[in-house]
Structure 1
Amino acid sequence: MKQLAIIVSWAAAVFACLFLLAPLVVIAAASFSPTPVFDLPTGGASLRWYSRIGTLDGFWPALWLSVEIAVLSTLISLVVGTLAAIAITRGKLPGSEILAAALVSPLMMPGLVLGIGLLQYYRSVGFTASWSGLLLAHLVITLPYVARTMIAGLSRFDFTLIEAGLTLGCTWPQSIVRVMIPALAPSFLIASLFSFLASFDNYPVSIFLTDVRTKTLPIKMLQYIEEAPDPTIAALSTIILAGTVALLLIADRAVGLSRMAGTAE
């Protein structure tokens, strides 16, 4: 009976993985279509759609904007989220549990609702700067990932190590750099990875806050699908997917995915 349960569990796990990965495989296969339609390359593969990515109208500005917003929001979230996590885990901040719940609350809200709420708030205060508004919105998206990860990492960090560094002649900044940051490197890595990907791939919030001159790559990809759908979009999606996998492999080589998963719990 126990062996049957194990077989059923493994079968369910394999089925779930195949079910989740099947759409990605289809998109990757369609990117090699020899015809200008989303079709599987049964009669031969072609790479011409990959060569067309750089010629898409507005592709490079949209890519640069997405990378710029993702990097800046990740860096700012790392600083703010880490400081907030220290205040929460040290247990000296009144209402720390409420603050921790508030920091991760955007994760519990649908993206469309969050986008509409931010748009209405910007309008009510007369805030019309698209680039700045987009950056602030992505901070709302990325900060919960950083805060949640750093709270988990700092909850297992021994703060007496910093005090030991002070007794050995280090200043406060030196103790942070030499003791705390190396010990929390896996937490910083997983927080950066999740927040960057969450910002770069975000669509439901960004769509309400972009304008004609300020469009992120996901919004631009939607525009491509509406105007001229062809396998170029599948090729671009495949490259983004490959980049995500590459980041995970780099993280695995750096600290190990099992250690990263333990940090994110």
Structure 2
Amino acid sequence: MMSQFDLSDKVLRYGGLAVRGFVYSMMLTPAVIVIGASFNSGELLKFPPQGFSFRWYAQVWQNQQFMVALWTSVYLATFATVVSLLLGFASAFVLDRFKFPLSSMFSSLLLSPIIIPMVVLGLALLQLFSWLGLSQSFTGLLLSHVLIMLPYVVRTLSTGIGLINKTLEEAALNLGASPLRTTMRVSLPLLMPSLVAAAVFAFVTSFGNVTLSVFLASTSTITLPVQIFAFVESSYDPTVAAVSSVVIAVTLGVILMIEKLVGVSQVIGR
């Protein structure tokens, strides 16, 4: 006869499986619909598709605006990720290892872009960059993306730095290694999973951003999300689904690269 403990264990197990299945289905269903609609042979964006065709992918490849916007987004996200990692690592290291009177205020300022509404932040940066002469420039767009990426980078790296065994760094210093050499040869290798996680958060945040890019982009620095947004306003053919599928493929490629280099489980934690 089944005990009450076994019954509760089964309820928890199957309940957990049901919840996970629901969450996974909610995450995957939009992507499946978009990818399926991108192969539609008809003239309108709809799911399930009417027939099967690669014509919309060919149209995306031949569309100069989409291709330029794609490479602009990749270049901007990569460059902004590198800058945010450098600034974020320095900020997280200082906040963890040094205590100074304004450390809490400094930490709050770094995290403030998460709290401020993106529209308000976009308007404020537009005014600031207009005053500085950086309006609708790649530099202004880069700085704005770095600003919204820093909170995720700093929080991720702060957690990683806090978990580093400081006795290993002290041992390296006692053996004659300089602080810079200790950081490069001891701290950074131990921090590699957190660095990869921070880079992923930063890249995805920049690559998918629409609001700031709408305010700050120019005709020569239009990113792919902005181009998709503008295209949907004037057309409703499956080209937008094909472009969105390319974005999904880029994201999947980043995940596979992470798995190859360090392992996804090391990035998100076991």
Please indicate, yes or no, whether the TM-score normalized by the shorter chain is above 0.5. Answer: yes
Whether the aligned pair in 1 keeps the contact of 2:136 and 2:217 (CA below 8 Å) is no
Name the structure 1 match of 2:175: 168
1:21-60 map, 5 Å:
21-40=28-47, 42-60=49-67
In the TM superposition, residue 189 of structure 1 has moved relative to its aligned partner by 0.7
- Which residue, 61, 64, 87 being the options, matches 1:80? 87
Say which of 41, 65, 68 aligns to 2:72: 65
Which residue type is aligned with residue 17 of structure 2? W
1:148-179 Cα offsets, whole Å, 9 max, x none, are 11100000113342332233343333222211
Paired position in structure 1 for 2:154:
147
Q: 1:200 aligns with which of 197, 202, 207?
A: 207
Whole-angstrom distance in 2 between the partners of 1:109 and 1:92: 26
Q: Number of residues paired by the alignment?
A: 263
Question: For 1:169 and 1:242, how far apart are their aligned partners in 2?
Answer: 47
1:197-248 deviations in whole A, cap 9, x for unaligned?
Answer: 1111110111111122321111111222223332121111112112212212
Match in the other structure for 1:190: 197
Q: 1:108 aligns with which of 95, 115, 118?
A: 115
Q: What is the CA–CA distance in structure 1 between the aligned matches of 2:70 and 2:84, rounded to whole Å?
A: 21
Letter in 1 for 2:169: I
Residue in structure 2 matched with residue 95 of structure 1 by the alignment: 102
Aligned equivalents of 1:129, 1:39: Cα separation in 2: 35
In structure 2, C-alpha distance between the alignment counterparts of 1:97 and 1:249, rounded to whole Å: 37
Tell me, yes or no, if structure 1 residue 17 matches structure 2 residue 24: yes
Q: 1:249 aligns with which of 246, 250, 256?
A: 256
2:61/2:67 contact within 8 Å kept: yes
Q: Secondary structure, in 3 states, of the residue corresponding to 2:221?
A: coil
Preserved CA contact (<8 Å) 2:42 2:51: no
1:117 partner amino acid:
A
Identical pairs, percent: 36
Q: 8 Å contact 2:228–2:240 — kept in the other structure?
A: yes
1:38, 1:231 within 8 Å by CA — same for their partners in 2? yes
Question: Residue in 1 aligned with 2:3?
Answer: none
User: How far 1:106 sits from its partner (Å)?
Assistant: 1.4
- Unmatched segments (≥5 aa) in structure 1: none
What residue number does 2:266 align with?
259
Q: Please say if 1:219 is aligned against 2:236.
A: no
Structure 2 SS opposite 1:207: helix
Distance (Å, rounded) in 2 between the aligned partners of 1:69 and 1:254: 23
Cα RMSD of the aligned pairs, angstroms, is 2.2
Contact conserved, 1:87 with 1:93, CA < 8 A, in 2?
no
Q: 1:43 to 1:226 in 2, by over 3 A?
A: closer
**Alpha-carbon distance in 1 for matches of 2:13, 2:189:** 40
What does residue range 120-131 of structure 1 map to in structure 2 within 5 Å? 120-125=127-132, 127-131=134-138
Q: Residue 81 of structure 2 aligns to which amino acid in structure 1?
A: T
Question: Does structure 2 conserve the Cα–Cα contact (< 8 Å) formed by 1:73 and 1:138?
Answer: yes
1:43 shift after superposition:
4.5
Deviations 1:89-115 (A, max 9, x none): 114233323322321221233322322
* TM-score (normalizing by structure 2): 0.88
